[in-house]
Amino acid sequence: MNTPNVIFAGTPDFAVASLKALVQSGITPIAVLTQPDRPAGRGKRLSASPVKQFAEDLGIPVLQPKTLRDASVVAELEAMQPDLIVVAAYGLLLPQNVLDIPRAGCLNVHASLLPRWRGAAPIQAALLAGDEKTGVCLMSIEAGLDTGPVYSSDAITINDGETAGELHDRLAKLGGRVLAQHVKEIAAGKLEATAQDESCATYAGKIATADAAIDWRRSAQEIERQVRAFNPVPGAWFMHGDERIKCWRAKAVAGVDAPPGTVVAAAQEGVVVACGDGALSMESLQRPGKRTVTAGEFANQVDLTGHRL
């Protein structure tokens, strides 16, 4: 099969794995689209996206439009005459006049088993729901939100105790492998896509800091999943006095006879808090502006036993 002309659109680390896999498969994109540089770090200096950094290291032309609804941007993309636009966590919606540019259409690397968990945060949603498996889909992009037909999907089992960050890294690598395996036959029109079953569709909305607030009235299993889903961003949290404490690692344990939110133990093994059903043993915690510490270190810093959170 001939090597297709591909434009790649992506921004964060998740997308770098797909871009790297494309290049290693013999397809160097004719251009890369990525989000504009953003302020980052304590100094709020403008920082290039991981995709931009990777592309520039390889000498691939980089475009950073604020919107794809600019006629001059659309004209520039049209002039490149791409066979395919590959999208992975780009962050901007592709309007119809951009979707119509590539001969073979636009392809999205999506981190779920569609139609389950369409939307912005499929990895977190899968963990919050207690899903036993997830995966990656190669989807033809339509105007709707992740509604297009699927060319290929590959499933993996979610490991016990796995965090969103850990699952993200596995799915990013998987996405790259699946993309490299099928991109040439998709560009050549030799792979058929299958329509999604709309009756099975679920949605994963954007994550807000408020979503990560721990409600001790919920079951310990639910809260454990919450801790995993919001590690590393934004971090599951609870209030202790005026401090917002983040919990990075925790596990559900046997219940205790105490009102939800009561700290029933604070030891090296864990800070144990009664929940609506069962109890949560918090193993890794962080106070505002401080480093992350073990439960034992935290118990030495903060008097918690008998307190109600």
Specify the pLDDT at position 42. 72
Helix (H) or strand (E) holding 186: helix 164-187
Q: What is the CATH number of the domain that holds 41?
A: 3.40.50.170
Specify the pLDDT at position 305. 74
Domain boundary among 204, 232, 262: 204
- pLDDT tens digits, one per residue of 133-152: 999 999 999 988 999 999 99
Please indicate, yes or no, whether residues 34 and 127 belong to a single structural domain of this protein: yes
Greatest Cα pair distance, the chain, in angstroms, is: 69
Please indicate, yes or no, whether residues 237 and 291 belong to a single structural domain of this protein: yes
Please indicate, yes or no, whether residues 215 and 181 belong to a single structural domain of this protein: no
- Give 1's pLDDT tier (boundaries 50, 70, 90): low
Please indicate, yes or no, whether residues 185 and 244 belong to a single structural domain of this protein: no
Please indicate, yes or no, whether residues 136 and 246 belong to a single structural domain of this protein: no
CA distances from 71 to 76, 102, 225 (A): 9, 16, 45
**Percent of the chain having pLDDT more than 90?**
88
pLDDT for 288 beyond 80: yes
Least confident of 153-157, 200-204, 269-273: 269-273
Contacts of 78 (CB under 8 A, 6+ apart): 101
Pairwise CA distance, residues 23 & 10, whole Å: 14
DSSP-based three-state secondary structure for 200: helix
pLDDT for 297 beyond 70: yes
How many domains does the chain fold into?
A: 2
DSSP-based three-state secondary structure for 23: helix
Q: In which domain, by residue range, is 182 found?
A: 6-204
Answer whether residue 308 is part of any domain: no
- pLDDT tens digits, one per residue of 93-134: 999 999 999 999 999 999 999 999 999 999 999 999 999 999
Please indicate, yes or no, whether residues 220 and 131 belong to a single structural domain of this protein: no
pLDDT for 41 beyond 80: no
**Percent of the chain having pLDDT more than 70?**
100
Please indicate, yes or no, whether residues 116 and 44 belong to a single structural domain of this protein: yes
Domain boundary among 180, 204, 228: 204
pLDDT mean over 44-48? 86
Specify the pLDDT at position 92. 92
Domain boundary among 188, 204, 220: 204
Which has the closest alpha carbon to 107: 65, 73, 138, 79? 138
Looking at every residue in the chain, the average pLDDT score rounds to: 95
Pairwise CA distance, residues 66 & 63, whole Å: 10
- pLDDT tens digits, one per residue of 214-273: 999 999 999 999 999 999 999 999 999 899 999 999 999 998 889 999 999 888 889 999
More confident residue, 143 or 29: 29
Pairwise CA distance, residues 85 & 32, whole Å: 10
Do 309 and 217 contact (CB within 8 A), yes or no?
no
Please indicate, yes or no, whether residues 55 and 147 belong to a single structural domain of this protein: yes
E strand spans, the chain: 6-10, 31-33, 38-40, 45-47, 62-63, 84-88, 106-110, 118-119, 133-140, 150-157, 203-204, 236-240, 243-253, 263-267, 270-274, 279-286, 293-294
Pairwise CA distance, residues 51 & 20, whole Å: 9
- Give 189's pLDDT tier (boundaries 50, 70, 90): very high
